[in-house]
Chains A and B, each alone.
Chain A
Amino acid sequence: ELKVEQNPLFLSMQEGKNYTIYCNYSTTSDRLYWYRQDPGKSLESLFVLLSNGAVKQEGRLMASLDTKARLSTLHITAAVHDLSATYFCAVPDTGTASKLTFGTGTRLQVTL
């Protein structure tokens, strides 16, 4: 059974600081997805990582995938308050492209 674990579950950081969220998964997968969710809102796709070594960047967020280590990281550079949200990683079940198992999420709070 596929398990997806994120850490930390909660992260409070000051504006301007850097930090990394980790996503580990238990079975082989060559792809991984990151989503953002604002309170009371839906999930918004951030990054689609489709191969080992894939790196994607958007503004202050950078995501990477190491399929050998079954690990993805979401790095936050010089955090700003607007990045406060919950971030989820998701991995497809073995043999499927679309049936995703989600981590429990990392709630990020950026304080002024």
Chain B
Amino acid sequence: DAEITQSPRHKITETGRQVTLACHQTWNHNNMFWYRQDLGHGLRLIHYSYGVQDTNKGEVSDGYSVSRSNTEDLPLTLESAASSQTSVYFCASSEGGANTGELFFGEGSRLTVL
């Protein structure tokens, strides 16, 4: 079955360290997204991609970067982790073109920055 997997599922790091969260989907979807979830804020969009070599900033992109070198993967990098980036991160994907736009989510990565 097609799926979307995130790793690591849990990570604790220190302020100032670089952290990369992996996202891999086997849906062959063109669109991939990174959201963060915090209490009281729902889900907020960090970065997204509509295809290979395409990346775009979302609502809360400061301190984060992504790259899309193939269809399956969209890793999220925190250049210098800050305590404000402690959160649960969700990767999601959807088909491109004329489709329903329905998002399929990974299981989430819980990041703690000390």
Question: Which residues on the B side are within 8 Å of A103 (C-beta)?
Answer: 42
Complex alpha-carbon distance, A43 and B108, angstroms: 9
- Which residue of chain B is the closest to A105 with respect to CB atoms? B42
Complex alpha-carbon distance, A33 and B100, angstroms: 10
Question: Which residues on the B side are within 8 Å of A100 (C-beta)?
Answer: 33, 45, 101, 103
Query: Among the interface residues A41, A50, A92, A105, which one has the most CB atoms of the partner chain B within 10 A?
Result: A105
- Of A33, A45, A98, A102, the contact of B42 (CB 8 Å cutoff): A102
Residue B1 interfacial (CB < 8 Å): no
Residue B104 interfacial (CB < 8 Å): yes
Cβ contact within 8 Å between B102 and A48:
yes
Residue B71 interfacial (CB < 8 Å): no
Question: Which residues on the B side are within 8 Å of A42 (C-beta)?
Answer: 90, 105-108
Within 8 A of B (CB), among A88-112: 88, 90, 92, 96-105
Shortest Cβ gap from A5 to chain B (Å): 10
**Chain B residues with a Cβ closer than 8 Å to the other chain, count:** 27
Shortest Cβ gap from A6 to chain B (Å): 8
Complex alpha-carbon distance, A96 and B43, angstroms: 18
Shortest Cβ gap from A106 to chain B (Å): 10
Cβ contact within 8 Å between B43 and A102:
yes
What are 22 A-B pairs at a CB distance below 8 A?
A31-B101, A33-B102, A42-B105, A42-B106, A42-B107, A42-B108, A43-B92, A45-B103, A48-B100, A48-B101, A88-B42, A92-B101, A97-B99, A97-B101, A98-B96, A99-B45, A99-B58, A100-B45, A100-B103, A102-B43, A103-B42, A104-B42
Given contacts A90-B43, A92-B101, A97-B99, 19 further A-B contacts (CB under 8 A): A33-B103, A42-B105, A42-B106, A43-B43, A43-B90, A45-B103, A48-B101, A48-B102, A88-B42, A97-B94, A98-B33, A100-B33, A100-B103, A101-B45, A102-B44, A103-B42, A104-B40, A104-B42, A105-B42
Where the two chains meet, the residues of A that have a C-beta atom closer than 8 Å to any C-beta of B are: 31, 33, 41-45, 48, 50, 88, 90, 92, 96-105
